[in-house]
A and B are shown apart, each in its own frame.
Chain A
């Protein structure tokens, strides 16, 4: 918008002077001067205090699930250009990188944003209160919990606990990194809470790799109010609503904005705090960044990155635990997937058309569905009413996926074996099973192994989605660290590196195995 469109009269001017050569040069000069004047005027405007209305018809970012959603952004800013984000941190990065002009959000994070050097180039603009209506609340499993939570809210509002909590977390530029001591008796059982640690001070990674923040304290106090223990489960923000609605958790720590649609399907409590809507925008009064990145700057970046994201408070432990979880799921899913694949492959090679059709249908279903959707289906539908560890659910889901992939691979390999060899084995007196075991299978396995290796690497990478069902794998560990350190790039790059190293090691291991197997068959 720096260069305004030339007014109609002005462009007419150009055509009037177009014919005589010298006059044309003169007229171009006039037009240039005009444009430059406009530019300067625009810059001058930019340096004055900006208002929300400056962002009308601009590109606005919103977070999925907010009351200030796409429709609201359309309405307030009269724009069709709305980008939706799953995570708040990603929205801020998009604003920093000018991928979007402004981020629309309730104001609870404003204080913490000011304290972050990383976001010093962002500023906050308040939107007049008469333009919107924000209602938010916690999602509850059932009406009973909702009623209890509302009762609890009324109590903490009345006795000043809420004011105290607000003072602790939200009203100052600094806030603690641990929770106050809250005694939980647990005499009435356990309160299962689903949350998405993402942004301070609401919920974030605190000291000793514990998730802390305003929302967590609220839930602890609610658990105390109920006389229960608290079991906090962290997951991607997008997964929470389903998690609670399906009864896997009692209540959400994260607050959800209350929309008309949601009132139909989800049970939501009263609002906790009155929230204001703000726009986060990039400052315009900053000097242009000077490109002075030298090798030194890179080394410093790595050093501080390692210090902040890995060494402080032993955060590397989260990474190593996450890696452990990733590898556990991958290896188990590969192992069980292989066994499962043998079964499917057996069915795929039957003469019975119906059985073959069934097996093919299964493989087709797996091929045609995104892994993340299958994971959710496994979690909420297949194991919906069974109380088993989330990691087991992930292993089961990836076993299903991997089983189909390996089965097709193995079937393909078996079909390439020369039928003459099988006939030759039969003609010596091998039964069909023995011929399969001694001739077909060893050769098929050899042919299938390269694709099997690739399959495993794909699997390791595919497990990055388990964050959706509250598993802290390698990817999720990186996200959590990012939420704490506000360092957008270092954890991402570090985690990418770990994936790369792990997969490379796996590929090399498989290659060794393949080499070993190919050297067999010499009879010695």
Chain B
């Protein structure tokens, strides 16, 4: 039996559907990184799992028990959560932050709770800060205390909601180190993160969230080395796009060229490459595609991650490769020479020529 199983989960705020039809089985010991663009519902998914924002549809099971708002108080003792903004109790010192839960909820004696708290503080490297107040700690220290506070309840799974997003870059590594140790110890973790290195190296499963659900689910190798779906690919390769619609032979090609120039400038693409892209687009459209097929559209993709460019032209009509049927051999030769690979596809009555540079 899975530890957490999510069935047809739906979460909406008013009319705004954030997540729908989410299904997942999470096993004990899995370290799952939840990645994806902002605003796609990564944090919402975590908060729906532990009912901080109760789901509006579907079911979540924990150890075979269906979660409801009523049984959540006791389930949450076994399901820790670490927040982006720490959420340390500011009127209590570090030690009291760690013992509040065990003493008040697990009815442990104060001595026992403090002994365990001290061990945990040692483990996260903050034993000597036990009597400090949260306001006296740095961001990284606060987050480590927050993790220790979670562990004080001996949870079976910990949900991390962007644990390093609010941190100074210099403090990210100290928190990541603690999480890495935790993962090694076999703790089940769900981590919403923007730290791709963490997702790649520490986790053993990755959820890519997009389109209101788990868009792609796989091992880190699969997601990072060989993403299958286009949005995942765009995200992983940090792909930036530019699109332009060409209405026919007499289109405003100055506008298109200055559009490409602006796009290159925005993404800090060097002048030389920008000129090549402009030239290529001009040749392809003016001399090869437009004279024969009329209207077409241009798509320019740039991967920040890989530093590669992809230029594609699509036009409707019968299945025919414009590069092969073109009359202007000189232009075709130029295009072929300046691109690394060339591909022609025919999909749904549309020809697509893709060039990579």
Contacts and interface: CB of A to CB of B under 8 A. Distances in A.
Interface of A: 418, 420-421, 423-431, 434, 438-439, 442-443, 446, 521-523
B77 interface: yes
Contacts of B76: 426-429
Contacts of A443: 90-91
Does more than half of chain A's interface fall in helix, strand or loop, or is it mixed?
helix
B73 A423 contact: no
Interface string B78-98: 011101011111111101100
B96 A523 contact: yes
Contact of B77 (A424, A428, A446, A521): A428
B83 A424 contact: yes
Contacts of A442: 91
B99 interface: yes
B95 A523 contact: yes
A421 B90 contact: yes
B153 A421 contact: no
A420 B87 contact: yes
B74 interface: yes
Contact of A420 (B85, B91, B92, B100): B85
Contacts of A521: 91-93, 96, 133
Interface string B102-131: 001100000000100000000000000001
B11 interface: no
Interface string B34-77: 00000000000000001010000000000000000000011111
Contacts of A429: 73-77, 101, 105, 153
B290 interface: no
Nearest to B146: A424
B205 interface: no
A427 B104 contact: no
A204 B91 CA distance: 58
A69 to B, nearest CB: 61
B101 A439 contact: no
Contacts, number: 83
Given A421-B88, A522-B131, A428 B105 contact: yes
Which are the 5 A-B pairs with shortest beta-carbon distances? Answer: A424-B87, A523-B96, A429-B77, A427-B81, A420-B87
Given A426-B52, A430-B101, A443-B90, 19 more contacts: A418-B90, A421-B89, A424-B81, A424-B87, A424-B149, A427-B81, A427-B83, A428-B105, A429-B76, A429-B105, A430-B104, A434-B104, A438-B100, A439-B89, A521-B91, A521-B133, A522-B95, A523-B93, A523-B114
Contacts of A438: 100, 104
A429 B52 CA distance: 11
Interface in B121-164: 131, 133, 146, 149-150, 153
Interface string B250-294: 000000000000000000000000000000000000000000000
Nearest to B100: A438
Contacts of A523: 92-93, 95-96, 99, 114, 131
A424 B80 contact: no
B65 to A, nearest CB: 15
B89 A522 contact: no
Interface of B: 50, 52, 73-77, 79-81, 83, 85-93, 95-96, 99-101, 104-105, 114, 131, 133, 146, 149-150, 153
Residue among A424, A428, A431 with the most chain B CB within 10 A? A428
Contact of B101 (A418, A428, A431, A446): A428
Contacts of B91: 439, 442-443, 446, 521
A428 B89 contact: no
Contacts of B80: 427-428
Contact of A427 (B52, B96, B99, B133): B52
Contacts of B89: 421, 424-425, 439
B93 A420 contact: no
A516 to B, nearest CB: 14
Contact of B73 (A418, A431, A439): A431
Nearest to B87: A424
30 contacts: A418-B90, A420-B87, A421-B90, A423-B52, A424-B81, A424-B88, A425-B87, A427-B50, A427-B76, A427-B79, A427-B81, A428-B77, A428-B105, A428-B150, A429-B74, A429-B75, A429-B76, A430-B73, A430-B104, A431-B73, A434-B104, A439-B89, A439-B91, A442-B91, A443-B90, A521-B133, A523-B92, A523-B96, A523-B99, A523-B131
A460 to B, nearest CB: 29
B223 to A, nearest CB: 28
A368 B133 CA distance: 42
Residue among B73, B93, B95 with the most chain A CB within 10 A? B73
B51 to A, nearest CB: 9
A522 B77 contact: no
B4 to A, nearest CB: 15
Contacts of A423: 52, 83, 87
A438 B74 CA distance: 17
Nearest to A429: B77
A441 to B, nearest CB: 10
Contacts of B85: 418, 420
Contacts of B52: 423, 426-427
B60 to A, nearest CB: 15
B105 A420 contact: no
B52 to A, nearest CB: 6
A425 B146 CA distance: 11
A492 to B, nearest CB: 45
